[in-house]
Structure 1
Amino acid sequence: MGMPFNQEGYGLIYNKEIFTKAGIDASKIKTYADLEAASKTLDSKKKDLKLDAVFALPGKETWVTGLHLSNIAFANEFPTVLDAFNAKTTTFKQNQPLKKLLDLQIKYAYKPDGSNKSINSLDYSTQVEKMFSMGKVAIIQQGNWAFGSIDGIDPELSKNIGILPTPLDGVKEGWIYKLCNRF
């Protein structure tokens, strides 16, 4: 007997070569402050790194922010996955850390027309295939499913990517935080 099983992982996919050129050790990025510092460093070196922006955030794809990113905030409301599963309500006490993480991505994001509003026109294909796979941004919020798209465009790049946890500012509790910071 068997049971179908699928495992997906998501977080912040990054280009290892760009991080190395910028002098950033991704293994040291464990907190929101670490991610913010890395983002500032990348932004300050955009010209030398030939980047259009640090992030590409696909605002058109509501599942990226509405499901994946918000899941991190909601999961950190509970001490265990079982507590999260059994909960009848949540207080959404991580709303401000979630907003702060989203604002960081927006601040350093590729903006097609230069305004924050244009992030809502960015779709998955533009984020993954045009911006990240073509080396125009260093970080995208996605998951292991993006590998096929990246590999199809640049097999060498696909061998040179990593994934970071998506840290919420001040969150040092909860099963999801502990899980993400084991790596």
Structure 2
Amino acid sequence: MKKTKLLSILTTVVLTVSLLAGCGSKTGDSTSSKESSGKAVKITFLNSKGEIATQLEDAAKAFTKENPNITVDVVQAAAGESPFQKVSSMYASGNAPSLSMLDPNDMGKFSDKFLDLSSEKWVKDASTGSLDAAKTDGKVMGFPLSIEGYGLIYNKAVLDKVSVDPASIKTTKDLEAAFQKIQAAGVAPIVLSPMDWSLGAHFLPMVYTDQSKDAGSADKFTADIKAGKVDLASNALFNGIMTTFDVLKANNIDKASPLAGTYEKAPEYLGTGKAAFWFMGNWAWPQIKEFDQANGQYGFIPVPVSNNADDYGNSQIYAGPAKFIGVDSKNNDADQQAAAKKFLEWMVYSDAGQDFLVNKSSLVPAFSNIKLEITDPLGKSVKQYVENKKAIAPMTTLPGDHWAQLGGSMQKYLDGKSDKAALASDIQNYWKNVK
């Protein structure tokens, strides 16, 4: 998720912590995180999730108390900086980080540079499906940092005032009826944020992922678009989703100037009850919490895709690992690799590591052994959808420029500068030119 664009963290955070390093004199997948040479070792960790930079610093301090002999320099990717480009540049300079935090669709691009982590202890405790995007030729090439989900966030206190039960919204017509009741009460029904990453990486891919619940159906659908086998303008799901988008657009708090909306303003609208819904993900809770007047009463409903409640997509939100961490095998020696693996294991199995993930960072862990209660209401909602098997995994094979290119097309549609036919043409032309 491109949430680094939202943050103004422009500095490099250097954290010094220590742990017992594994022994070994040559690089390779055979390094065990349990082995120890006892000598001082330095590793680096590229963090591309800026919203947990402070929490990571605190975690490092806790980590050093338990593991005294390794220095970890945490390098913060700048706001708006692509983690793929950052890591690529570090490899080009021969100074790749020991640990690289990347978006799921970037993991396969470094499969020849990362260690195979298949034999690590945490693999057996990873939640079902959480490792899929990090596998290459059956090997686990990355550590899932957390599960993130997105859909329509609701402020329950607002809905209660207008007697709208979020569980009753199962179709586009249901959503429109709820919006009418909310509007009649003098409240804006929804905040529809105009950022290209939100529209291009989160909303639009529903057209691909919701075509079928069959594995690989999203990739097949986009391949068919590329091959000219799909007339998107006549595709039922595309039209259904865009009909819902039209409802969101017509009820947007910023509809008078739809591209003027900002991410920073949206949590205030939702948290103070000026708006009832916001299309966004659980990563936004720290910002919503700052304005919360609903005593933590928030949750998710799916984005309706049709007027048939039984259609796939009408009862699911989108949830899956948002970031993976890979361990370098090229520029770091065996001791550094062992130290990097130790840090990953610490997050999953130590009390302080679990506290960092769940309590301090408000993350939904991707490991079944972590039993800490999630207090964040959006995290709770995501976890419930996942446990009830009502979650659709976000597409992890989108090209790197998809959210920018087609997010821009979605912005034009939102702003009334194009129509549905033009949008469909933009999408088809984009995929036909993907190499």
Fold shared, TM-score > 0.5 on shorter chain: yes
Percentage of identical aligned residues: 24
1:149 is aligned, of 276, 287, 293, to 287
Matched, 1:100 2:243: yes
**AA at the equivalent of 1:141:** F
The structure number with the bigger radius of gyration is 2
**AA at the equivalent of 1:147:** W
Q: Assess if the C-alpha contact under 8 Å between 1:75 and 1:84 holds in 2.
A: yes
Structure 2 matches for 1:44-123, cutoff 5 A? 44-46=184-186, 51=187, 53-59=188-194, 61-87=195-221, 88-90=223-225, 91=230, 92=232, 93=235, 94-111=237-254, 115=256, 118-123=257-262
**AA at the equivalent of 2:242:** K
Q: Distance in 2 between matches of 1:89 and 1:134?
A: 45
TM-score by structure 1 length?
0.81
Q: Deviations over 1:118-169 (max 9, x none)?
A: 11110111122x3112221011000111111112332x53621111000112
| Number of equivalenced pairs | 170
SS state at 1:110 partner: coil
SS state at 2:299 partner: strand
Q: Distance in 1 between matches of 2:260 and 2:248?
A: 15
Q: Assess if the C-alpha contact under 8 Å between 1:76 and 1:177 holds in 2.
A: no
- Shift, 1:57, TM fit: 1.1
Q: Which has the higher contact order (CA 8 A, sep 6+)?
A: 1
Task: Structure 1: state its 5+ residue gaps.
Answer: none
Matched, 1:135 2:269: no
Gap change, CA 1:146 and 1:76, over 3 Å in 2: same
More displaced, 28-37 or 165-174? 165-174
**AA at the equivalent of 2:304:** P
Q: Deviations over 1:53-99 (max 9, x none)?
A: 1111112x012222211122221223323222455224342222222
**AA at the equivalent of 2:259:** N
- Shift, 1:19, TM fit: 0.6
Matched, 1:165 2:165: no
SS state at 2:204 partner: helix
Counterpart of 1:8 in structure 2 is 148
Gap change, CA 1:158 and 1:149, over 3 Å in 2: farther
Task: Structure 2: state its 5+ residue gaps.
Answer: 1-119, 123-141, 318-384, 391-435
- Shift, 1:4, TM fit: 1.6
Q: Assess if the C-alpha contact under 8 Å between 2:306 and 2:314 holds in 1.
A: no
Q: Distance in 1 between matches of 2:262 and 2:243?
A: 22
**AA at the equivalent of 2:273:** G
Q: Assess if the C-alpha contact under 8 Å between 1:151 and 1:158 holds in 2.
A: no
Gap change, CA 1:13 and 1:158, over 3 Å in 2: farther
**AA at the equivalent of 1:108:** N
Q: Deviations over 1:14-41 (max 9, x none)?
A: 0101111101111111111111111111
Q: Assess if the C-alpha contact under 8 Å between 1:151 and 1:157 holds in 2.
A: no
| Bigger helix share | 1
Gap change, CA 1:150 and 1:99, over 3 Å in 2: same
Q: Assess if the C-alpha contact under 8 Å between 2:190 and 2:277 holds in 1.
A: yes
Q: Distance in 2 between matches of 1:82 and 1:138?
A: 35
Matched, 1:126 2:265: yes
Q: Assess if the C-alpha contact under 8 Å between 2:209 and 2:217 holds in 1.
A: no
Q: Distance in 1 between matches of 2:165 and 2:314?
A: 20
**Deviation beyond 3 Å, 4+ runs, structure 1:** 170-174, 176-183
